[in-house]
Amino acid sequence: MTVSHESTLVFGLAIAGQAVARELVRRGESVVLADDAVSDLHKAFSKQIGMPLVALTSSSEIQQVLNSVARVAPAPGIPEGHPVIVAARELGVEICSELEIAYRYERDSPSEPRPMVGITGTDGKTTTTMMTAAILESAGLRTMAVGNTDVPLISALNTDARAFAVECSSFRLAHTQQFRMCASAWLNFAPDHLDWHPNLNDYFEAKAKMWAHCVEGDVAVAPFDDLRIIKAAQASNARIVTFGIAGGDYHSFEGWLCGPMGRIMPISEMGRSLPHDVSNALAAIAVCLEAGLANVADVASALQIFKNAPHRIQFVGEKGGVRWFNDSKATSPHAVSVALNSFENIVLIAGGKNKGLDLSALAEQPSRMRAVVAIGDASDEIAHAFTGVCEIKRATSMQEAVNVADSIAQDGDVVLLSPGCTSYDWYANYGQRGEDFMKCVGKLLTGKE
């Protein structure tokens, strides 16, 4: 295999990795493709784009390839401790995420770079990114929600989009060196992804890189009550704007969403207005208005018709006074706490594959709990967390979990699938888990198999 010393090693060939490789090749750059295990699909992709595919199964093979390339573009799923990342750092090979490469292309474009605004946080990123995109669309800007979504930023560059709302995961931010946006919000921070980051501080510092390269005129939107996030904003060159339900530059007051300019819109006119919906909306509004890309009228027209993404406290159905909600996307205790805070009298279905997090935090709202149904690999941890808090049941399938929850729930209760864990013990992803839950609930509610 002949490799140019100007080549990029694209490591990890799922959606983001393939998108990076395609765009690099489209722009005339040389690429080397690799993954932990080479599959027939990888071979077909290699043939399709006309670039070499290598297997990196030993440290010597990794070192040989890294010595022959200019940089590494790891897929978001490649953790910090992966041998390829460790070796690249030891050898001084540049590591660039998809966000970084896409940003450089857009910044260096011969035409005027299109505005980028962004969202990061432990929870709420996708919804707030979608809200932001909806507001900018309402303002007349053809906007794409990209990044940690179904569409990587790099895939959106060659489109007619006039603005980008970028969902910034810590995985993508960790490997950035120049990436910046004109306005961006950091929603919250809690323990998560400790199966990817070596420790909690590394996770925080990766998030903080969203503001590391701000220039004068950029805007950092921070939660008014999180001093650590505010300090990260203060360490940047950005102008700081705060948000929060109970306070901040953008806040709620007497049933209204409010900002420095006064009332923006009644909360009752939002498509959905659970507490976290209000908080997310305030962050999205701050990003759009402070960036100068939208006005108050654009906000109201967008949020009145905004629809949340599936698997995020998604209403499934009601029978006998019991309401059922699918919150399969909640893969950390912090995400579950947001859902629990939205209801009273809850039968919680929780568990799955833990990602190194302390699940005892799931039981920190005991007054809301009717019972918990523990599922998956982490069922013992779930049961331990709720010992002495509420009734505990176990289930070995989703249908059994739904049936058990139904046998416990009473009129006025909510049955909530909010696992606090990943889905990888029983399912390929959280979406598949949520779909199965809804199918099982559908069988229960209709009596049809």
Question: For position 4, what pLDDT does the model report?
Answer: 53
Q: How far apart are CA 415 and CA 405, in angstroms?
A: 7
Contact by Cβ (8 Å): 16, 10: no
**Sign of the Cα pseudo-torsion (332, 333, 336, 342, in order):** negative
| Residue 206, helix vs strand vs coil | helix
Q: How far apart are CA 102 and CA 71, in angstroms?
A: 14
287-330 per-position pLDDT tens digit: 999 999 999 999 999 999 999 989 999 999 999 999 999 999 99
Residue indicated by tokens 């699909």: 41
Report the candidate in 255, 135, 150 with the shortest Cα–Cα distance to residue 185.
Answer: 135
Question: For position 26, what pLDDT does the model report?
Answer: 96
Whole-model pTM: value is: 0.91
Question: For position 5, what pLDDT does the model report?
Answer: 61
Q: In this structure, what token pair is assigned to residue 159?
A: 């489109």
Contact by Cβ (8 Å): 350, 416: no
Question: For position 150, what pLDDT does the model report?
Answer: 85
Ordered structural domains, the chain, with CATH: 8-95 (3.40.50.720), 100-303 (3.40.1190.10), 314-446 (3.90.190.20)
273-291 per-position pLDDT tens digit: 999 999 999 999 999 999 9
Contact by Cβ (8 Å): 389, 369: yes
Helix (H) or strand (E) holding 273: none
Q: How far apart are CA 346 and CA 343, in angstroms?
A: 7
Average the pLDDT over 49-68 and give the result: 94
The three-state (H, E, C) secondary structure of 4-41, written as one string: CCCCEEEECCCHHHHHHHHHHHHCCCCEEEEECCCCHH
Report DSSP letters for 305-332, one per residue: S--PPTTSSEEEEEETTEEEEE-TT--S
The pLDDT mean for the chain works out to 96
Q: How far apart are CA 213 and CA 210, in angstroms?
A: 7
Residue indicated by tokens 């029978």: 319
Q: How far apart are CA 139 and CA 146, in angstroms?
A: 18
Q: How confident is the model at residue 59 (pLDDT cuts 50, 70, 90)?
A: very high
Average the pLDDT over 87-96 and give the result: 97
